[in-house]
Structures are given as C-alpha cells and as structure tokens.
Amino acid sequence: IISYIKLTNKGRILKMKVKLLAHTPEPEKVISMAAKLCYSPVGVDEIAENLTEESINKFLNMLVSMGHESPIEHVTFTFGIEGISRSCSHQIVRHRIASFSQQSQRYVKLDQFEYIIPPEIEKNEKAKEIFIQSMNKCQEDYDKLVEILFEKHYQDLLDKGLNEKKAKSQAEKMSIEDARYVFPNACETKMVFTINARSLYNFFHHRCCERAQWEIRELATEMLKLVREVAPILFNNVGPNCLNGACPEGKMTCGKIQEVRQKFKTL
C-alpha cells in the first residue's frame, strides 16, 4: 500500500512514499481476543470463538470508551518511508515507544543528495533561489571534504600496511563519516518504522494536528489512511485530539476544529 505527496527537488518531483510493509495479521481480532480474555471467564482456547465483526466492533469501542488501551498494544504496524527530510525524521524518533532503522550517511556516500523544499519556500521564487544555491553549495562542500579527507586517510592506512583495496574502502567510509556533517536538515532520508497501535494513537493525536510541522503532519495523515484500510474499526475515530473532543491547544488552537473534524471523518 503506497501513498504519495509531491515535493520538489531541484526542479524534479521528489515523492514522499509511505508503504505499510507489515502488520499483525487480523489486528482487530487479536485486540478483541485480548479484551475478551480480560472481561470474560474464558481460556486461551476459547477466546477466538464467536468473534464476529459486530462483537469485534463492540470490544474495540468498549476499550476506547473505558480508556483501557493496553490490549491495543498487542498489534504492530511497520512502515517504509522515503522522501522525507532529516528534520522530519528527527521528529519521528521522538516517539520513543517504537523501533527505527534509518539510512546511514556513514555508510551511504551521497554523490548527489536529495533534499526537501518547504512549500513556503517553493512558492517564493526569491527564497527558492537562495535555498537551492545553499543546497548546491552543501553538495559541493561535501564532495571537497570527502576528497580531502580521503587522500589523508588513504595514505595513512597504506602506511599502516593495509593493501590498496582495504585502504580505499576504509578511507572512503572514514571520509564520508565526517563530511556528512555539512548536510542540512533538508537532506532526504529513508527509514523503516515499527510501532504498536496504542503508540500509533498517540502519534496521530499529536502529528495529525494542524499545529504539527507541515511535513510530519502530511506523513501522519498518509499513515492513518493506510492503517484505516487494514483496521478500519480500530482507527475509525482516530486523528488529532480535537476529532472527538475539545481542542487541547487553548489559546494556540488553529481555530479550524470543524474543518479538521470533517477532514478526518471522511479521510
């Protein structure tokens, strides 16, 4: 399952790709079995019996209404994400009850790094020109740093007795490890992200909010679309905090609560 958001990169279209790589089979049934075990005198051999769509719906709605969300932790979702900035990935990893694997700039040499242009910069020609010049300069400086550092490391390793093949391989890794520091937050990255459904609720509550940073908000919305396809009951009423209650932002509210509610109820 793949969704796309168009972002520009040096005149090309850089696509944010979100793919649901894997998830717990029959996630809503698994949660219902856990809930049934909590609230009825059945053993593990009977918890899957008579679980109809209607009873599953009942169990899930009961859990949410009671605030008993621990059974929801029994199911996980794994996403493959690319076409996002390092700025966005830094926000994703703040959600600590999750697992992350991110493309390494220590091991992957970026001969032509991709980058994300924020929409407000994209639609302002003067700002866009400055931004692209800065990105080009980052690439130019990265290439120079790699070259300078490689020459030094390569010779040092040869002097230590390594053969040319090993010296070249290690020197390149050592060079890009330090040269990568010149890259900006706009640098494109890729990651695999696994999270349980309860933590995903929290992720959507915060990141689907209009006050969330634009890139992670768009990412979260696409992720919500994907999980609703495989677990529609579980995620039917999930979205920003204001979807089912008052806006928690107080004076900092976006002021568009009705518009936001309509958006996520018809997502």
Active site amino acids: 207
Identify which of 86, 120, 116, 96 has the alpha carbon closest to the alpha carbon of residue 206: 96
What are the b/e assignments for 134-160, b being 16+ CB within 10 Å?
Answer: ebeebbeebbebbeebbeebbeebeee
For residues 96 and 94, give the distance between their C-alpha atoms in angstroms, rounded to a whole number: 5
- Across the beta sheet with 76-85, what order do the strands follow? 2-9, 12-23, 76-85, 188-196, 98-102
For residues 16 and 222, give the distance between their C-alpha atoms in angstroms, rounded to a whole number: 10
